[in-house]
A and B are shown apart, each in its own frame.
Chain A
Amino acid sequence: MLKITNLHANIEDKEILKGINLEINPGEVHAIMGPNGSGKSTLSSVIAGKEEYEMTEGEIIFEGGDLTELDPEERSHKGIFLSFQYPVEIPGVSVTNFMKASLNAHRKANGQEDMPANEMLKMIREKSELLEMDRKFLSRSLNQGFSGGEKKRNEIFQMAMLNPKLAILDETDSGLDIDALKIVANGVNKLKSKDNAVLVITHYQRLLDYIVPDFVHVMLDGKIVKSGTKELAYELEERGYDWIKQEQL
């Protein structure tokens, strides 16, 4: 589904990603762990098509097609979803209106008509219930004044609405209390199928108890330096990253 080969990316002439290789197949759950500043969010932004980053080498193939020249919106239409580490606050646009604009943009890209309003509302209601979101959030301005946990829950609500092929969850667990973590993880698991895939970025093994990964990768200084199974996450939790850094030397 996703194949990243030798990906190098710069921001303002500073190299952040230094040769990433990663392959994700349908039905798989991958986790990336790594210290602060190692480039995890950069990788997810590059996959999602953020223009500030300059790809200097390598390629990203999604469903057989090269992503490099595609705009963020086109990648979204192809089924890539990024749950932001820091969701942006947009005062003046309600969650509902935002979701309508987003979903209808997807439909338009697929040559479909706008979704009828009542169908849309029904779907919004269903998915917000899945995430146990209070109804009043739907009429509030997007993310404005939402708590950290509420923002993350709202991200997964959007994921549920858009039903992506590849969901990248960048630290979706940070800011969530235990109950919310279960609800959000449960939401992600319900959306899981043999045809889609999830890439989870996290600092905590805890999330991986709920969203169980098939593969765990360790990212250090812009490279994936180690990959393993979910046991690797336990080991990292226990031992930190120093031993891997040592291994690198």
Chain B
Amino acid sequence: MELKDKLISSFLAFEEAFDVDSDIHEVRSNAIKEFESLGFPSKKEEDWKYTSLNTVLKHDYSVFPKKEDALEYRDIKKYLIHDIDTYKLVFIDGIYSSHLSETTHDKIDVCLMSSALSKSKYKPIIDAYFNKIVPKNGLNSLNTAFSKEGAFIHIHKNKLADKPIQIVNFSTGNESALMVQPRNLIVVDENSQAQIIERHQSLTDHPVFTNSVTEIFAGKRAIVDYYKIQNDRASASLIDNTFVEQQEESVCSMHTFSFGGKLTRNNLNFYQRGERCDSTMKGITIIEDKQHVDHNTLVHHIFPNCESHQDYKGIFDENSTGVFNGKVLVEKEAQKINAFQSNNNILLDDKATINSKPQLEIFADDVKCSHGCTIGQLDEESLFYLRARGIPLKEARALLMYAFANNVLESVRIPELKKRITSQIALKLGVSLGFDL
């Protein structure tokens, strides 16, 4: 049976098993109908021209994992930022693991989507925010239809999440092939702050297909820093759909580090719903083999005096492929906007490819917008300079690649995370540079 049909026929059982009486029963039922008519995207769609899901969809995924698998902390420690205190929401094969997690309800709520969807005290938040900014398409509808578990984070007005929050999704390989659909909702109220780190990690080489949806709401003057670590096995594919809505003077940043996975697609939309918003989207992609990473971004400037900064760096080796499709939409009312976008790429191999397509649609007249896209190789003159100082070719190349990506790291505001990413980059590049990156 095709995956689409399998999902549709599983829906009734899914709803019955969990909660037909749930408030969002109707939302889910509508969503499955939408998915039924829209299906998975195909390369015929403009936005999917360079990314084909064919090889991902061909597996016979089990869509409801049976039970929680007992993972021990020592098995997964290395996938966590463990040298600092954090809140943790750990999911194993899509199921919440209470013993690996650390939640809170003390002034802020760091807990589960399943409880937020079922407990009446969260109803106002769910009513106000759940599924409000998710564009209609096959993948989003599919996730909504099966939305049940994931992270629920609510930082109340004037509160600060006192430590970073990690959302980590493991797949164990207990199923021969697994599809999971995490659904996260993050609401950061007026004058509040949160730092969130998200990771998807497969523990075996069984195929895993993740289709996740995350909605993030930043209230007035809220500050949200969100980091995604995408460093998965070559058997794991991820479609990450993340939507951010910002109220006035809020500052939101998204850093995406894509170092591995079979196919990774990031659909990232920022909607500015007030003046003086600041949106940052940055990414470093370093891949090889036949890996594929696609960044599809949108910044929607609706109000005046806002800023957006996009800076995506990509290093592609062997047969890997990259896509950058960045859209900046500036409405007529959105005067005095600064919108910057840059996408720089290095191809290390003749066989590697990148498709970079910036799209600016500007209807206001008093704006500063710029975009730049470069595709190149490592600079020979720089390589010679480094080698003439005794740095061997491999290290010299790594140093230049690190230097190339470095400015994306500068804005990472969790020092331990920054350290971790830099050492992952060094590992990825297979070098020790004689200093800690």
Q: What is the bound-complex CA distance between A92 and B378, given in angstroms? A: 14
- Of the candidates B385, B405, B434, the one whose C-beta lies within 8 Å of that of A105 is B434
Which one, A1-9, A16-24, A80-88, A235-243, is touching chain B? A80-88
> Is A206 among interface residues, defined by CB-CB distance under 8 A?
no
User: Which chain B positions have C-beta within 8 A of A104?
Assistant: 434-435
7 closest residue pairs by CB, A with B: A104-B434, A92-B403, A92-B406, A76-B390, A72-B387, A100-B435, A88-B385
**Given A71-B387, A97-B435: A92 in contact with B393 (beta carbons within 8 A):** no
Asked if A105 and B406 sit within 8 Å, CB to CB, the answer is no
Q: Interface range on chain B: under 10, 10 to 19, 20 to 34, or 35 or more?
A: 20 to 34
Q: Which of B390, B405, B407 has the most CB of A within 10 A?
A: B390
User: Which chain B positions have C-beta within 8 A of A11?
Assistant: none
User: Which chain B positions have C-beta within 8 A of A82?
Assistant: 388
Minimum CB–CB distance from B41 to chain A (whole Å) comes to 36
> Is B108 among interface residues, defined by CB-CB distance under 8 A?
no
Specify the chain B residue showing the minimal Cβ separation from A88. Answer: B385
> Is B424 among interface residues, defined by CB-CB distance under 8 A?
no
> Is A50 among interface residues, defined by CB-CB distance under 8 A?
yes
Q: What is the bound-complex CA distance between A100 and B399, given in angstroms? A: 12
- Of the candidates A77, A90, A141, the one whose C-beta lies within 8 Å of that of B385 is A90
Q: What is the bound-complex CA distance between A45 and B381, given in angstroms? A: 11
> Is A93 among interface residues, defined by CB-CB distance under 8 A?
yes
User: Which chain B positions have C-beta within 8 A of A75?
Assistant: 388
Q: A76-B390, A102-B386, A158-B389 are in contact. List 6 more A-B contacts (CB 8 A).
A: A71-B387, A73-B391, A73-B393, A81-B388, A90-B386, A105-B395
Q: What is the bound-complex CA distance between A119 and B434, given in angstroms? A: 14
The contact string, 1 if C-beta is below 8 Å from chain B, for chain A 45-63, is 1001111100000000000
13 example contacts (A-B, Cβ-Cβ < 8 A) are as follows: A49-B387, A50-B384, A73-B387, A76-B387, A81-B388, A92-B407, A97-B435, A100-B434, A101-B434, A103-B434, A105-B390, A114-B434, A162-B390
Asked if B380 and A52 sit within 8 Å, CB to CB, the answer is yes
Asked if B391 and A105 sit within 8 Å, CB to CB, the answer is yes
Chain A count of residues within 8 A CB distance of the other chain? 36
Specify the chain A residue showing the minimal Cβ separation from B401. Answer: A92
Asked if A101 and B407 sit within 8 Å, CB to CB, the answer is no
> Is B402 among interface residues, defined by CB-CB distance under 8 A?
yes
B residues 380-430 touching A (CB-CB < 8 Å): 380-382, 384-393, 395-396, 399-400, 402-407
Minimum CB–CB distance from A203 to chain B (whole Å) comes to 22
Asked if B403 and A88 sit within 8 Å, CB to CB, the answer is no
Asked if A101 and B435 sit within 8 Å, CB to CB, the answer is yes
> Is B20 among interface residues, defined by CB-CB distance under 8 A?
no
User: Which chain B positions have C-beta within 8 A of A106?
Assistant: 390
A residues 198-245 touching B (CB-CB < 8 Å): none
- Of the candidates A45, A52, A102, the one whose C-beta lies within 8 Å of that of B389 is A102
> Is B433 among interface residues, defined by CB-CB distance under 8 A?
yes
- Of the candidates A50, A73, A162, the one whose C-beta lies within 8 Å of that of B392 is A73
**Given A97-B435, A100-B434, A103-B434: A87 in contact with B385 (beta carbons within 8 A):** yes
Specify the chain B residue showing the minimal Cβ separation from A84. Answer: B385
**Given A88-B381, A93-B399, A101-B395: A48 in contact with B388 (beta carbons within 8 A):** yes
Minimum CB–CB distance from A166 to chain B (whole Å) comes to 13
- A positions within 8 Å CB-CB of B: 45, 48-52, 71-73, 75-77, 81-82, 84, 87-88, 90-93, 97-98, 100-106, 108-109, 114, 141, 158, 162
Specify the chain B residue showing the minimal Cβ separation from A87. Answer: B385
Specify the chain B residue showing the minimal Cβ separation from A78. Answer: B390
Asked if B403 and A93 sit within 8 Å, CB to CB, the answer is yes
User: Which chain B positions have C-beta within 8 A of A100?
Assistant: 434-435
User: Which chain A positions have C-beta within 8 A of B390?
Assistant: 73, 76-77, 102-103, 105-106, 109, 162
Q: What is the bound-complex CA distance between A141 and B435, given in angstroms? A: 15
**Given A50-B384, A100-B434: A92 in contact with B392 (beta carbons within 8 A):** no
Asked if A92 and B402 sit within 8 Å, CB to CB, the answer is yes
Asked if A93 and B402 sit within 8 Å, CB to CB, the answer is yes
Q: What is the bound-complex CA distance between A101 and B434, given in angstroms? A: 5
Asked if A102 and B391 sit within 8 Å, CB to CB, the answer is yes
Asked if B388 and A90 sit within 8 Å, CB to CB, the answer is no
Q: What is the bound-complex CA distance between A162 and B391, given in angstroms? A: 12
Q: Which of A48, A75, A90, A101 has the most CB of B within 10 A?
A: A101
Specify the chain B residue showing the minimal Cβ separation from A89. Answer: B382
- Of the candidates A72, A92, A109, the one whose C-beta lies within 8 Å of that of B388 is A72
User: Which chain A positions have C-beta within 8 A of B386?
Assistant: 90, 98, 101-102
**Given A84-B385, A88-B382: A105 in contact with B403 (beta carbons within 8 A):** no
